């Protein structure tokens, strides 16, 4: 009697289920669909504006009216939500980033326009000061130091301004200590108990953000680096501590950023907490695939889909990605 619970070759042939397309689909362990995506969109002042981002082929800075068009596309493709990020010209930036608190800023005007035209689309707002400061950092700076508590106070006010404009998810990306609790308190006090918080809980000080900084106008103004508040790429246990704190402070979901270089972190967070866990496929990841495809070095479409399925396989509930529309078109064609 064979006590081995697993059959062996030739009775077992692992290739059998791979022999036909229908069988590969039937045996697939992980599924990818448009409902897994939040489409990352870059905004810029203007009208009928679709300005190419040089470092991100296929990505455009969109004026508010064009962003409304993108929201309609998302709805038609089955993409449930957009993640909006503003381009701010250097001359509009200030040391304290006051524009973040302007209820009529680019983000807020665009959110209202989208909600008027496509109310069923969810909207995620990034909460941080880096699009608005003249030094390019996520918080207030004094004598070269990023001030934690003073920044948190402003971020809480920024979150309320964005909730008032119609954003459904507030996503603090600043990595200041205590900001999730402060934002939750501020939202609840202003009557926004149902507005979600998706915390950038494990956001690493990564080289993969370069194209994004060019896209939002921060590349030329950033002074120094962000290693005093973003995480060391060498650390994993620290990510679990960050996630535990953000969940305890009231985060509805947590995020890992960047994505592909940190799939192990996604898996560990999902296994440890079982909480809604998202990954951000950042600009550098997008740009690498696009540039390689343009040079004929790889099949861009297959690489796009393979990278996205990797997030789901690692345990992510969803993915913030610039590929959302392209991937959704492929998946629904």
CATH number at residue 139: 3.20.20.70
3 in a structural domain: no
Instruction: Considering only CA atoms, give the Rg of the chain.
Output: 21
State the pLDDT confidence band at 5, using cuts at 50, 70 and 90.
low
Rounded to whole angstroms, what are the CA distances from 62 to 163, 198, 256, 326?
21, 24, 26, 17
2 in a structural domain: no
> What value does the mean pLDDT take over residues 257-274?
98
Query: Catalytic one among 115, 257, 290, 312?
Result: 257
Q: What is the mean pLDDT of the chain?
A: 96
26 in a structural domain: no
> What value does the mean pLDDT take over residues 86-98?
93
pLDDT digits (tens, 9 = 90+) for 97-116: 999 999 999 999 999 999 99
State the pLDDT confidence band at 3, using cuts at 50, 70 and 90.
low
From its phi and psi, is residue 250 left (phi > 0), alpha (psi between -120 and 50) or beta?
A: left
Q: In terms of residues, how long is the chain? A: 333
pLDDT digits (tens, 9 = 90+) for 285-316: 999 999 999 999 999 999 999 999 999 999 99
280 in a structural domain: yes
Q: What percent of the chain stands above pLDDT 90?
A: 94
pLDDT at residue 90 in the model = 86
Closest CA to 215 of 45, 88, 37, 97: 88
Predicted confidence (pLDDT) at residue 119 exceeds the cutoff of 80: yes
pLDDT at residue 1 in the model = 47
Task: Write b or e for each residue in 204-241: b if 16 or more Cβ atoms lie within 10 A of its Cβ, otherwise e.
Answer: bebebbebbbbbbbbeebeeeebeebbbebeeeeebbe
Where in the sequence is the domain holding 295, given as residue range(s)?
Answer: 33-332
Q: Measured between alpha carbons, how far is 258 from 280 in angstroms, rounded to an integer?
A: 6
201 in a structural domain: yes
Which pTM value belongs to this model? Answer: 0.95
Query: Catalytic one among 44, 115, 203, 290?
Result: 203
Q: Are the beta carbons of 156 and 183 closer than 8 angstroms?
A: yes
Predicted confidence (pLDDT) at residue 43 exceeds the cutoff of 90: yes
Closest CA to 110 of 46, 194, 27: 46
Does residue 18 have a cis peptide bond before it, meaning omega lies within 30 degrees of 0?
no
| CA-based max dimension of the chain | 80
Q: What percent of the chain stands above pLDDT 70?
A: 98
Is 44 considered catalytic here? no
4 in a structural domain: no
Predicted confidence (pLDDT) at residue 195 exceeds the cutoff of 70: yes
Closest CA to 80 of 328, 331, 332, 330: 328
Is 270 considered catalytic here? no
- Indicate the number of domains in the chain: 1
pLDDT at residue 236 in the model = 98
19 in a structural domain: no
182 in a structural domain: yes
DSSP 80: -
Provide the β-strand partners of residue 123.
82
State the pLDDT confidence band at 2, using cuts at 50, 70 and 90.
low
State the pLDDT confidence band at 218, using cuts at 50, 70 and 90.
confident
pLDDT at residue 89 in the model = 87
pLDDT at residue 185 in the model = 98
> What value does the mean pLDDT take over residues 217-233?
92
pLDDT at residue 227 in the model = 96
pLDDT at residue 219 in the model = 80
Q: Measured between alpha carbons, how far is 138 from 155 in angstroms, rounded to an integer?
A: 10
State the pLDDT confidence band at 153, using cuts at 50, 70 and 90.
very high
């Amino acid at each position: 009697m064979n006590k081995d619970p697993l059959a062996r070759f030739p009775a077992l042939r692992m290739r059998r289920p791979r022999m036909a397309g229908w069988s590969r689909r039937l045996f697939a362990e992980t599924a990818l669909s448009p409902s897994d995506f939040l489409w990352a969109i870059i905004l810029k002042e203007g009208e009928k504006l679709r300005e190419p981002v040089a470092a991100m082929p296929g990505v455009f800075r969109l004026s508010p009216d064009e962003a409304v068009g993108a929201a309609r596309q998302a709805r038609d493709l089955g993409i449930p939500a957009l993640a909006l990020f503003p381009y701010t010209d250097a001359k509009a930036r200030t040391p304290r980033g006051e524009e973040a608190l302007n209820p009529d800023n680019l983000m807020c005007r665009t959110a209202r326009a989208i909600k008027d035209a496509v109310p069923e689309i969810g909207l995620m707002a990034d909460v941080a000061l880096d699009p608005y400061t003249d030094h390019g950092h996520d918080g207030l700076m004094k004598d070269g130091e990023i001030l934690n508590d003073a920044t948190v106070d402003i971020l809480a006010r920024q979150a309320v301004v964005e909730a008032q404009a119609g954003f459904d998810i507030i996503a603090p990306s600043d990595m200041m200590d205590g900001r999730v609790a402060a934002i939750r308190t501020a939202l609840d006090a202003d009557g926004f108990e149902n507005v979600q918080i998706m915390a950038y809980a494990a956001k690493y000080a990564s080289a993969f953000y370069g194209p994004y900084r060019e896209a939002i106008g921060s590349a030329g103004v950033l002074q120094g680096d962000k290693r005093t508040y973003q995480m060391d790429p060498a650390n994993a246990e620290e990510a679990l501590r960050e996630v535990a704190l953000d969940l305890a402070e009231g985060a509805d979901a947590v995020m890992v950023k960047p994505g592909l270089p940190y799939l192990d972190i996604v898996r560990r967070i999902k296994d440890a907490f079982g909480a809604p866990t998202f990954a951000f496929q950042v600009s550098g990841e997008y740009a690498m695939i696009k540039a390689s495809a343009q040079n004929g070095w790889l099949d861009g479409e297959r690489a796009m889909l393979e990278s996205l399925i990797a997030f789901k396989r690692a345990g992510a509930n969803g993915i913030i990605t610039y590929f959302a529309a392209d991937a959704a078109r492929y998946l629904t064609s």
